[in-house]
Structure 1
Amino acid sequence: MWPGVDIYRVSIQNQNIPYFNINGAELKTIPFFKYLRSIVSSTTKIDNDVINKITKVSRSFGILRSKFSSNKHLKLATKFQVYEAVCLSTLLYGPETWTSYRRHLVQLEHFHISCLQKILGLTWKDRVPHTQILECTKSQCIEAMIAKQQLRWLGHVIRIPEERMPRKILYGQLQNSHQRPCGPKKRFT
């Protein structure tokens, strides 16, 4: 690959951990790091990233909420637009590559609904259904927003030239896979 660079893998506790040596000096392997406001984990799970995003947006929303409650001249539509621009854009930054499970969607949806309830001045005692809150605020559920961004990214990848890496990965085949009779074709790597 590169002169003086050796890469080898060692299996520790059922995990393949890569080790890099550059001119005899070993580089450390870390369990996670921050990259472009997201947490990249060695386990490829997004649990820490979701919690980190909710924490950051919660702080931002707290500051916005204090401004909202002190200003009685703001319309609800303006409050929702500011919430979408500041909070939702941060919360849903980069979900195109997420492998999100139901627990992640539930966490994000719960936070989203609780923010909308606070903007509307509702509490759990009011017993307003989530569908009515979303309808009143003209908002979508988090799952629909994430699916929309993922489909937009998928359309982008499909339109790029075939020799580019994202397109190759999207249409790549598994190396050691076999298709069950009458099963779906496996088109992912």
Structure 2
Amino acid sequence: MNGETLEQVDNFKFLEASLSKDGTCTAEVRFRIARATASMTSLQKIWRSNISFKTKYKLYHSIVLSTLHYGCETWTLMADTEKRIQAFEMKMEPLLAPVKRRKLQWFGQVTRHDTLSKTILQDTDEGGRKRGRQRKSWLDNVKEW
């Protein structure tokens, strides 16, 4: 990039979001679900209190859902990760639709501007295709939706 060689790493953590070289997000989704569950558990006294439902709902959205959705724009959703999110939804409310919406919004924002993110997003791997079934990519999610 600009005449400099960039170091290749297997995993990269940036602002508490973990990105992996192979594009999978299973570990990140597990981590986010665990954090959101911990947030729910820490609010047990509030859920049992006499606070209005409207206030509880706002707390749920601002604490629990924001914890779960943090960095979801970078996730490559495969069948197993979607199942994990849907299992968490069974406890709460629909969560997969907002993840998809936020990811598509980010894709639109990146493709409208000439930035490093757009360059990276549109870049392809050097070399030929690997043998066997091709792994689903981040862009495959966008095209599918």
What TM-score do the two structures reach when normalised by structure 1? 0.56
- C-alpha distance in 2 between matches for 1:173 and 1:107: 29
RMSD of aligned residue pairs (Cα, Å): 3.0
Displacement of 1:42: 4.2
The percentage of counterpart residues that share the same residue type is 24
Aligned partner letter, 2:98: M
The alignment status of 1:157 with 2:100, answered yes or no, reads no
Cα distance change of structure 1 residues 44 and 168 upon mapping to structure 2, 3 Å threshold: closer
- The separation in 1 between residues aligned to 2:27 and 2:109, in whole angstroms, is 27
Aligned length, in residue pairs: 127
CA distance in 1, matches of 2:58, 2:98: 15
Q: Distance in 2 between matches of 1:66 and 1:53?
A: 22
Maintained 8 Å contact 2:46/2:56: no
Tell me which residue corresponds to 2:134.
none
Q: Which residue does the alignment assign to 1:13?
A: none
Structure with a larger share of its residues in helix: 2
**Aligned residue among 78, 84, 91 for 1:101:** 78
Q: Given the superposition, is the C-alpha separation of residues 106 and 32 from structure 1 closer, same or farther in structure 2, using an over 3 Å criterion?
A: same
1:143 is aligned, of 93, 96, 99, to: 96
1:53, distance to aligned residue in structure 2 (A): 1.2
Query: Which structure dedicates a bigger proportion of its chain to strand?
Result: 1
Query: Where does 1:169-188 land on structure 2 (aligned, <5 Å)?
Result: 169-172=120-123
Relative to structure 1, the CA distance from residue 160 to residue 111 in structure 2 (aligned partners, 3 Å threshold; closer, same or farther) is: same
Aligned residues of 1:68 and 1:79 also touching (Cα < 8 A): yes
- TM-score (ref. length: structure 2): 0.70
**Unaligned 5+ residue runs, structure 2?**
129-138, 140-145
Give the aligned partner of residue 136 of structure 2.
Answer: none
How far apart are 1:175 and its partner, in Å?
A: 5.8
Q: Which moved more, 1:42-51 or 1:94-103?
A: 42-51
Structure with bigger gyration radius: 1
Q: CA deviation at 1:48?
A: 1.2
Partner amino acid, structure 2, of 1:90: T
Gaps of at least 5 residues in structure 1 are 8-17, 19-28, 117-133, 135-140, 178-187
The change in CA–CA distance for 1:93 and 1:172 in structure 2 (over 3 A counts) is same
1:97 maps to amino acid: T
Partner of 2:19: 40
